[in-house]
Amino acid sequence: MGITLIVPPELEPVTLYEVKNWCRVDLADPYFDPLLEANRIAAREYLEESTGRQIITATWKATGRCFVAEGTRLPKPPLQSVVSVQYRDVDGTLQTLDAAEYTVDVDNNCIQPVNAWPRVGDYTDAVQITFQAGYGDAASDVPQRVKHAVLMLALHWFDNPQPAVDERVYSVPRTTAALIRQLKDWQRL
């Protein structure tokens, strides 16, 4: 299943102020702001990629060759809502499936047909599902351990800006790696 970001998150799970505080940087001094801003965004992106989860609400489009009979599992949990389900019929015409024809299971990140999925044509993007995922629209919706992992990564990269070449300095600290393992979407593997 292919996936494309349609609408990115509107904010980050932690503020620049929080990152500066964690990095023990003078809050009034803007000298390190560009680096710390880049670190907090990169830390969120790293965490999303490593865990398979969406942290702050974003809109995605998943595409595939066919529906899965017992239900189509969507990537990037937690699922908030399905915006639309479209498919290419056997003639290649893009059709939109009525929302009454499927159920959305946000707890399991999947959609299931009420009766049966429609027949689709032989196209790589025969099924196109647009959905919203993430813990919520605000940083306050994000679990504390997710925020903690973002802050730990931003701090680590601030303290260790060079690539790790020694066993004593890790590209990702072991404590952060442990949090990532806990958050990982193991069903996507």
Per-residue pLDDT of the chain (189 residues; tens, 9 = 90+): 899 999 999 999 999 999 999 999 999 999 999 999 999 999 999 999 999 999 999 999 999 999 998 889 999 999 999 999 999 999 999 999 999 999 999 999 999 999 999 999 999 999 999 999 999 999 999 999 999 999 999 999 999 887 656 655 567 778 888 888 888 876 654
- Look up the pTM and report it: 0.89
Per-residue model confidence (pLDDT) at position 176: 83
Q: Residue 45 has what pLDDT?
A: 96
Q: Which pLDDT score, from 0 to 100, does residue 181 have?
A: 85
Q: Rounded to whole angstroms, how far apart are CA atoms 138 and 121?
A: 40
**What's the CA gap between 172 and 99, in Å, rounded?**
43
Are 86 and 72 within 8 A, CB to CB? no
Q: Does a cis peptide bond (omega within 30 degrees of 0) precede residue 173? A: no
How high is the pLDDT of residue 164? 57
Burial 62-96 (b: 16+ CB within 10 A, else e): bbbeebeeebbbbbbbbbbebeebbbbeeeeeeee
Q: Rounded to an integer, what distance in angstroms lies between the CA atom of residue 150 and that of residue 62?
A: 26
**pLDDT value of residue 172:** 78
pLDDT score at 178: 84
